Structure 1
């Protein structure tokens, strides 16, 4: 009789402890509005989440509500107190008008399913209305973007591991320079908007970007920097790297590896 009572008590205690040992996923935001974007833009947004539980959080699957949205996510377990990211990339090519898409995240968290959403308006270019060239006065007062370097070699990097890159930019114009976006055919180089602020005339600033290599082997990525510089449509630079499956135990992201150019 005593043994049965002891066993029942021990089993209840075990179940109680197991119930309290769980991962918990909490997002900083559950929706993002891109506003109006031009058709052909690949609009990208990162949803950051934190594991507020006491067990490692593992994302088991991420599904978008349509093929026009490509999700990427943190693949490794997220330790208690650590953060991870869900990146949503919306391809607006051939999709004029408003959009509202969802991404469903499944994990081992106490609430196993979570949903984030993106929305916006895709503006179709009006071919019948020719672009108006800026006036001579506007060009004279325009900011002028100059990247400190036109190319960067990263050496060996790990596939699907994000690398923080510091982009050094000079404003050689007469008014404030505003960086609008980074774009690339690989859709692997995105602007960290949290680092953005206007760059005064004659000043230099560091703009942060995140590079996530996707294709194995030697790669050369073409990156375009868009801004409010009226004298040029975009500034181009090239990024080269050797993408490998694994760098062993070292992780560029965990070590806070940062590359500047």
Structure 2
């Protein structure tokens, strides 16, 4: 029994539509999938942009970008990338407190036929001593330099759990922008109130340091601020007499006599 021509035509149309559907897809093509920073000075944020192009015929959407560790922060193009257009995935590696070799991955998830792409960044973070040894006298003289006239702040009496702020004035006596990238302390109770911005050569800037100390008594805590100053990290000291309460009604027993805090 011969097959009706109408049936054959319908079948051919369905197959053509299926072929079109199969080939209608976005394709994400990166210019590179691995980037080597080489030597990175400790205290800087190593940043690289992985650029890609949609070489398919449908829009590409990046659903998520996941770094392999908290030391790497990704950013990416959030809007759909049309065919023939470019997009970017930015990787930012924080080198503060992480001297040595690093090798990190960033997984990019998309709506393409290859749903994920793994990007890699690597390099070697040099500590301050290694950086100094690698610089010529001229390069060291041209580097930023952090100077603080008053590195100690005494809060006096504060209440446990409060978050007072100390303001330090820092001058950049070098010849390049001074950039602070991190702060650390042994008590884990010191941090930036707001991330400090770059300080231009010959100018001064303020660092607002927040102090959250819950231990009682006379406290002395040191904060280490990492920056792109190759000579050394900046050291700041916070002092305070921490009490349970600053309420005027709070009393202490002394020789069976209640007396207010002084």
Q: Give the TM-score, by structure 2 length.
A: 0.51
Matched, 1:37 2:40: yes
Point out the more displaced range, 46-55 or 110-119.
110-119
Using the alignment, how far apart are the partners of 1:88 and 1:37 within structure 2?
Answer: 14
Conserved 8 A contact 1:222-1:236: no
Alignment of 1:124-163 (within 5 A): 124-126=127-129, 134=137
Q: In the alignment, what sits opposite 2:52?
A: 49
* Aligned with 1:95 (options 85, 95, 98): 98
Cα distance change, pair 57–8 in 1 and its aligned pair in 2 (3 A): same
- Per-residue CA shift, 1:234-260, capped at 9, x if unaligned? 8789xxxxxxxxxxxxxxxxxxxxxxx
Matched, 1:18 2:21: yes
Using the alignment, how far apart are the partners of 2:113 and 2:70 within structure 1?
Answer: 28
Matched, 1:107 2:110: yes
Q: In the alignment, what sits opposite 1:72?
A: 75
Q: In the alignment, what sits opposite 2:8?
A: 5
- Secondary structure (helix, strand or coil) at the match of 1:77 reads coil
- Secondary structure (helix, strand or coil) at the match of 2:51 reads strand
Q: Which runs of 5+ in 2 are unaligned?
A: 145-174, 183-193, 206-262
Cα distance change, pair 54–133 in 1 and its aligned pair in 2 (3 A): closer
Using the alignment, how far apart are the partners of 1:220 and 1:96 within structure 2?
Answer: 22
Conserved 8 A contact 2:96-2:181: no
Q: In the alignment, what sits opposite 2:229?
A: none
- What's the CA shift for 1:110? 2.7
Using the alignment, how far apart are the partners of 1:133 and 1:16 within structure 2?
Answer: 63
Cα distance change, pair 14–183 in 1 and its aligned pair in 2 (3 A): farther
Conserved 8 A contact 2:33-2:119: yes
Conserved 8 A contact 2:43-2:181: no
- What's the CA shift for 1:222? 2.3
Cα distance change, pair 90–223 in 1 and its aligned pair in 2 (3 A): same
Point out the more displaced range, 3-12 or 77-86.
3-12
- Per-residue CA shift, 1:50-91, capped at 9, x if unaligned? 111111111111111111111100000011111010000011
- Per-residue CA shift, 1:38-59, capped at 9, x if unaligned? 2222111001001111111111
Q: Give the TM-score, by structure 1 length.
A: 0.51
- Secondary structure (helix, strand or coil) at the match of 2:19 reads helix
